[in-house]
Every structure is written in structure tokens, then in C-alpha cells.
Amino acid sequence: MTQQLTAYPVWDRSVRIFHWLNVFCILALIAIGVAILNDKALGVSNDGKLLLKTVHVYFGYVFTANLTWRIAWGFIGNRYARWQSILPFNAEHRTQLSAMVTGIKTGKPVGFLGHSPIARFMVGLLFLLMTAQATTGLVLAGTDVYMPPFGNSIKEWLASDPLMVGSIKPYSKEGIDEAAYKEMRETRKPFISLHYYVFYLLLAAIILHLLGVLVSELKENNRLISAMFTGKKVFSEQPFDAE
């Protein structure tokens, strides 16, 4: 006997646009980031590396703007877009986690329309890593290629003379005070280290996220993947967190 499936709306348009724009930006940033990290092996010239970094920053701006909008949408979006229904360690999460454990013990798995209690841990980690990457990236954009929002302030810091600020260019020592430059490079070290290691942590988290989505799709068959296109999941029984 075929089970009757009911479609439930969950992901609004803003969430879906954020998700796919985020995917595009991250793929582009990873590709360019890998090329920058391996510039010598790839035979990239200084001008080529500067171009790669500049393009990387522009994709970073889109990534950061998109992430900022999603953070704001977590306060004003629909129920399933809000932080209360996304992040772990709150009252709603504890209730859902308890229901999931009870369902496992009784052999009656509980379905969740929004993120499952386990998925919340991964989503929380992803947002934390993406925020760290966006923040450190903006700092590095200013200290490396002198781009906004901190680039002009960095140039004013480095200028040997206030009249030389406009002449300061990436990969050039013209108009730069050597002592200030060394101080700036020391100041940026923690940011570049964090940006570097978060890059690999984010890669690992994305792989785990994709595996989790695939396993859930095959196990639960509630159109988890297509929901990020249609905004709807399907269930044979009403999900625990359905409105």
C-alpha cells in the first residue's frame, strides 16, 4: 500500500536564495583560495596573484553581504528561518532532542520539518565558521590588497607621509614606512592564521554536512534536497515541529 505523502512549506524564498548564493560563493572562494595557496606550484606571477586576491575579495564581499542578510533574516523570517529553530542549546532544541531520543527508543522515529536536533549542531557550526571566515577575510582584504572596509585606514597607518597615502599600492613599498609595515604584518598574523585554519575546518564541515544531507535523504525520503528548490518537504505523518 502506497503511503499518502503531504507537502509542508518550510524554507522561504529568502532562505533558498541565501543557500544557493552561498554555495556559489563558497565554491568560487575555495577554488581561488586554493590557487592563491599554491601560486608558486601553479607558476602564478605577482600580478596574477594580485588579480586572484582581488577577485577573491570581491567574491568575499558577496559572501559576507549574503551571510549578513541571512543573520538578519534569522530574526525576522518565518519560524523555520529563525535562530530559535536553527541553533542548538535552547529550550526548543532540548524538546526536539528529547522527542527524537524517545522515538528511537520506541521504534517510532520522529520527523522534523525544520532542522533536526542533530542537524542544528552542524548548522550552528557552519554559521560560526562562515562568520569567522568573513570577518577575518575583511581584515585581510585591508591589510593585504588595501581594499575596503579597512584598506584606507591601513594605508594611512603605513604612509611615510600623509601626502603619500594615495600612492600606496599592493606589493609596492613606495610611500610606506618600513617600521609601520612590519608592525602591520605582525598585527595581521592572528587573522591570517585563523582564516587559514578555518578554511580547512569549513571544508571538513561542508563535507560532513553533505554526507548528512545525503544520508537523511535516503533514509527519510522527505525530499530534503529538493526542498531547497521548492521550499517544501513531504511526510507521511505530521512532523513534530509542524505549525
Residue 121 lies in a domain: yes
Residue 69 lies in a domain: yes
Structural domain of residue 71, as residue ranges?
A: 12-230
Statement: residue 1 has pLDDT above 90: no
At 2, the pLDDT band (50, 70, 90 cuts) reads low
Structural domains of the chain, count? 1
39: Cβ–Cβ under 8 A, 6 or more apart, which residues?
48, 49, 52
Q: How far is it, in rounded angstroms, from Cα 169 to Cα 147?
A: 10
Q: What is the CATH number of the domain that holds 189?
A: 1.20.950.20
Whether the bond into 149 is cis, omega within 30 of 0: yes
What's the pLDDT at 4? 85
Statement: residue 98 has pLDDT above 50: yes
How far, rounded to the nearest angstrom, does the alpha carbon of residue 167 sit from its chain's CA centroid? 35
Residue 241 lies in a domain: no
Residue 239 lies in a domain: no
Q: Rounded to the nearest 5°, which phi and psi values hold at 207? A: -60, -45
Q: Which residues pair with 7 in a beta bridge?
A: 234
Q: How far is it, in rounded angstroms, from Cα 45 to Cα 164?
A: 26
Residue 2 lies in a domain: no
Q: Span 142-156, mean pLDDT?
A: 96
Residue 238 lies in a domain: no
Residue 31 lies in a domain: yes
Q: Span 16-31, mean pLDDT?
A: 98
pTM over the 0.85 mark: yes
Residue 3 lies in a domain: no
